[in-house]
Structure 1
Amino acid sequence: MPVAYEAPEVLDRREGPYGEVVLRRHGGLLQIIANGCFLMDTSDGRSERRLVDAALAALARPLPRGRPVAPRVLIGGLGVGFSLAHAAADRRWGGITVVEREPAVIDWHRDGPLSALTRAALADPRTEVVEADLTEFVNETSDTFDALCLDIDNGPGWTVTEGNGSLYGAAGLADCARVLRPGGVLAVWSAQPSPVFEETLRNAGFQQVRTEEIPVARGVPDVVHLCVRPG
Structure 2
Amino acid sequence: MIPWVLLDTAPLPGGGDLRLKQRGTEFSIMLGPIELMNSRLSGSEEALARLTLEKLSGSKAPHILIGGLGMGFTLRAALALCPADARITVAELVPAVVDWARGPMAEVFGGCLDDPRVSIHVGDVGALIGKSRGGFDAILLDVDNGPDGLTVEANDRLYATGGLGAAKAALTPGGVLSVWSSAPDPRFSQRMRKVGFQVEEVPVRASTKKRGARHMIWLATA
TM-score by length of 2: 0.89
Correspondence for 2:150: 159
Report the number of matched residues.
217
Larger Rg: 1
Bigger Cα displacement from structure 2, 29-38 vs 125-134: 29-38
Aligned to 1:174: 165
- C-alpha spacing 1:228/1:27, structure 2 compared with 1 (3 Å): same
Q: SS of the residue aligned with 1:70?
A: coil
SS at match of 1:89: helix
Distance of aligned partners of 1:16 and 1:200 in 2 relative to their CA distance in 1, 3 Å threshold: closer
1:55 aligns with 2:52: yes
Is the deviation greater in 92-101 or in 155-164? 155-164
Q: Could you say what secondary structure the match of 2:150 adopts?
A: coil
Instruction: Compute the RMSD of aligned alpha carbons.
Output: 2.0
Indicate which of 63, 85, 101 corresponds to 1:72: 63
Pairing 1:14–2:10 present? yes
Inter-CA distance 183–43: structure 2 relative to 1 (3 Å threshold): same
Per-residue CA deviations over 1:164-211 (Å, capped at 9, x if unaligned) read 11111111001111211110001101111122111111101112x110
- Is the contact made by 1:185 and 1:227 (CA closer than 8 Å) also made in structure 2? yes
* Alignment-derived partner of residue 65 in structure 1: none
Q: Residue 41 of structure 2 corresponds to which residue in structure 1?
A: 44
Matched, 1:144 2:146: no
Alignment of 1:60-209 (within 5 A): 69-92=60-83, 94-110=86-102, 112-141=103-132, 144-157=135-148, 159-207=150-198, 209=199
Contact kept in structure 2, 1:192 and 1:223, CA below 8 Å: yes
Structure with the greater relative contact order (CA < 8 A, sep ≥ 6): 1 or 2?
2
Aligned residue type for 2:51: A
CA distance 1:71–1:155, shift in 2 (3 Å)? same
How far apart are the structure 2 equivalents of 1:28 and 1:116?
9
Deviations 1:44-88 (A, max 9, x none): 211111000111112265xxxxxx513121000000111111112
Where structure 2 has 5 or more consecutive residues not aligned to the other structure, the ranges are none
Normalising by the residue count of structure 1, what TM-score does the alignment of the two structures yield?
0.86
1:222 corresponds to 2:215: yes
What SS class does the counterpart of residue 128 from structure 2 fall into?
helix
Cα contact 2:13–2:152 (8 A) shared by 1: no
Q: Distance in 2 between matches of 1:163 and 1:60?
A: 33
1:219, distance to aligned residue in structure 2 (A) = 5.0
Distance 1:158 1:132 in 2: 16
The gaps in structure 1 that reach 5 residues or longer are 62-67
User: Of the candidates 202, 205, 210, which is equivalent to residue 212 of structure 1?
Assistant: 202
Q: Output the amino acid matched with 1:197.
A: F
Question: Do 1:16 and 1:103's aligned partners in 2 also have CA atoms closer than 8 Å?
Answer: no
Q: Distance in 2 between matches of 1:36 and 1:216?
A: 19
CA distance in 2, matches of 1:137, 1:34: 24
